[in-house]
A and B are shown apart, each in its own frame.
Chain A
Amino acid sequence: MEIKPQGMAMPSDPSTLPQGKFGPIYPKSPACHGFTIIAKVKEGREGTVREYGNTIEKAVAAYPDCLAPLKLHYLRWVLFDIGNGLHFMYQGIFDTDFDKYTEDAVALFISLGVNTVFENLEGFPMDWKTNPDAFVKFVREHQRPSFLEYGEYPFFSADEIKKALQLKSAFTEMLDQMQ
């Protein structure tokens, strides 16, 4: 098997995409599925948003599999201000499709009994726990799709990557034991 890096120009007009339950179905790219959600932070909430970084770090340290249902590769949370007020950005690379990710996230937060950092963003529906469709709608309205994506090891899922790394580690261990 040869792993060939791949780039993909993404459709620039979402209206040309097939329509799913909540809107256009974004294609899987060499960088898997993903999103970039950008929304303005409510006035005075920067500290609360930043504190979520510590909360998530601690939660994952205590329960490393707590985000497993989301099928993530990577997540990044960014705060930026380019002259139009403080904005929050949620970057994710994951293996499920866009809507499933959102639905799984809602179910996960409810099951954990935690609030979401999104509650500090303008326009976020505060009744999201009983109105998951409103959560999906918010995410879709604030999603900014890529026009180009690139993967060095395209289309592999996080599960495949983890199995491969574990196999490589076991093989290394076996070879060490054969010395």
Chain B
Amino acid sequence: MEIKPEAMAVPPISKLKQGKYGPVFPKTPACYGFSVIAKVIPGKEEHLYNHAKVIEKGIAENPELLKVLQAHYLRWLVFEINGEKYMMYQGIFDTDFDKYCEDASLIFGQSGIKSAFEALEGWPEDYATNPASIVKFFRDHHWPSFLEYSEHPYVSCEEIKKGLNLRAAFSEMLDQMQ
């Protein structure tokens, strides 16, 4: 098998099919993903930084905490435009956009992730009992890419982890044969 890097110019929203909650974002060489941007409620920025330590600890204690999301990589950051602070949540994952949002809503209560979003303007107060409101928030604040690229296109997390495990096992076997 030859793994060929691939790039894809992503069609604009107006050309996408409509799904349950809105346009169906296509799978690209960089899998599914999003870039969710929302304004930070003034004074809540420090709350976000403290929250990062909570998440780090939560995952250290239970590495499978976010497993249901099938995420490759996640990044949270705060940036400023014209004196206003925004948080951005970047994700690369294997489920489609809406399933990711629905799955995320299930684990918010368990993981404490909820508190990060509670620092954002527009986050639905009834999210714990209304998963559709979370999907709507993510959709309303998502900015789709117009170009995506991957060095190992379309490969899922599970495939990557299985490959890495197999390679490690094979390496161990060869060591034992010495």
Contacts and interface: CB of A to CB of B under 8 A. Distances in A.
A152 B73 contact: yes
Contacts of B76: 146-149
Contacts of A80: 35, 37, 143
A27 interface: no
Contacts of B157: 152-153
Q: What is the predominant secondary structure among interface residues of chain A facing chain B?
A: mixed
A57 to B, nearest CB: 5
B44 interface: no
A21 interface: no
Chain B contact residues: over half helix, strand or loop, or mixed? mixed
Nearest to A87: B81
A151 B5 contact: no
Interface in A23-75: 31-32, 34, 36, 38, 49-50, 52-54, 56-57, 59-61, 64-65, 67-68, 72-75
B146 A50 contact: yes
B44 to A, nearest CB: 13
A123 interface: no
Contacts of A145: 77
A164 interface: yes
Given A153-B164, A164-B166, A76 B71 contact: no
Interface in B6-34: 6-10, 30, 33
A67 B149 CA distance: 10
Interface string A93-111: 1000000000000000000
Contacts of A112: none
Contacts, number: 220
Contact of B163 (A50, A147, A161): A161
A57 B1 contact: no
B35 A158 contact: no
Interface size class of A (residues with CB under 8 A): 35 or more
Interface string A134-178: 000000000011111111110010101111111111110100000
Contact of A9 (B56, B63, B66, B149): B56
A82 interface: yes
Given A74-B92, A77-B146, A93 B164 contact: no
Contacts of B75: 31, 34, 36, 91, 146, 148-150
Given A53-B10, A91-B90, 15 more contacts: A9-B55, A31-B74, A38-B81, A72-B151, A73-B73, A74-B92, A76-B30, A82-B39, A147-B76, A148-B75, A151-B72, A151-B73, A153-B161, A161-B151, A166-B3
